[in-house]
Amino acid sequence: MLSRIPYQGRRERGITMIEVLVTIVILAFGMLGLAGLQNKVNIGMLEAYQRGQAVILLNDMAERIKAMPMIPCRNVKALGSTTRCDQFSTTVNASYTSAVAVVRDYATGSALGTGDSPASDCSTLTNQAQRDKCEWSKALQGAGETTGGANAQKVGAMNGARGCITEISAPNGTNGACTAGVYQITVSWQGMHATQAPSLTCGSGQYGAENMRRSIATRVSIPVPNC
């Protein structure tokens, strides 16, 4: 005699709904994970963009300094002499002093860019170094690109961009010395997440925690020919 199997329909109710809810919860966590990943990707892209802009600005000032006429030797080679820079010349010495003064003017006492107040018209500055620093300061402030509209904003640089130029060693064309001038150019800006704090000091204390500050630098040598 066949036994009758009890009807289980009532006990099975809700199983499909539970599976759907579990699936929704799993998908929700997955979507949150994807959102977090996308956010990190966006931050990484912005960091890379800002570093690229910083490299452009760094090279801009480096090329400006390199474009300066070479510093003449303090002493001039005498006609027919077998040694260089062994004959004093008032004209050349004055030219040397003037050139050294202009080159040394590239050194900054404080950071340019964010927080700086450059001249409204840099072209009015007669000193080449001062004019270059004025234009560079504006570039660091984002003057290279602005938004449209009546309330245009400068957006052509990094967030909180600052630049510093430090004299590592002054040029010396004195006979027997003949050492090139060395200048370090540094660009700093606001990072989007904490990393290792840079050892470069440009902009230090201006970005909150030091591990939020980004800095890159390069050095430029100013030769003294005919020494």
Within-domain flag for 2: no
Give a yes or no: residue 18 inside a domain: no
Is position 181 within any domain? yes
Of 24, 174, 150, nearest to 92 (Cα)?
174
Residue-level pLDDT at 75: 63
How do 181-190 and 213-222 pair as beta strands?
Answer: antiparallel
Would residue 124 count as lying in a domain? Answer: yes
Q: Is 62 exposed, middle or buried (0-12, 13-18, 19+ CB in 10 A)?
A: middle
The span from the CA of 213 to the CA of 225, in Å, is 39
pLDDT band for position 218 (cuts 50, 70, 90): very high
6 has a pLDDT exceeding 70: no
Nearest alpha carbon to residue 133 among 158, 159, 163: 163
What is the mean pLDDT of the segment spanning 63-71? Answer: 85
- 13 in a structural domain: no
pLDDT tens string 159-189: 999 999 999 998 887 767 778 889 999 999 9
Residue 84, token pair as written in the block: 């260089």
Q: Does a structural domain hold residue 185?
A: yes
111-115, 146-150, 152-156: range with highest mean pLDDT: 111-115
Find the domain containing 42 and state its range: 23-222
Note the pLDDT tens digit of each residue in 204-217: 999 999 999 999 99
Query: pLDDT at residue 82 above 50?
Result: no
pLDDT given at position 89: 58
What would you report as the CA-atom Rg of the chain, rounded to the nearest whole angstrom?
31
- Residue 162 inside a domain? The answer is yes
Number of domains the chain contains:
1
**Judging by DSSP bridges, how do beta strands 181-190 and 162-169 pair with one another?**
antiparallel
Burial of residue 112 (CB within 10 Å: 0-12, 13-18, 19+) is buried
Report the sign of the C-alpha dihedral through residues 52, 54, 55, 60, in that order.
positive
Place of tokens 């230090």: 204
In a domain? residue 8 = no
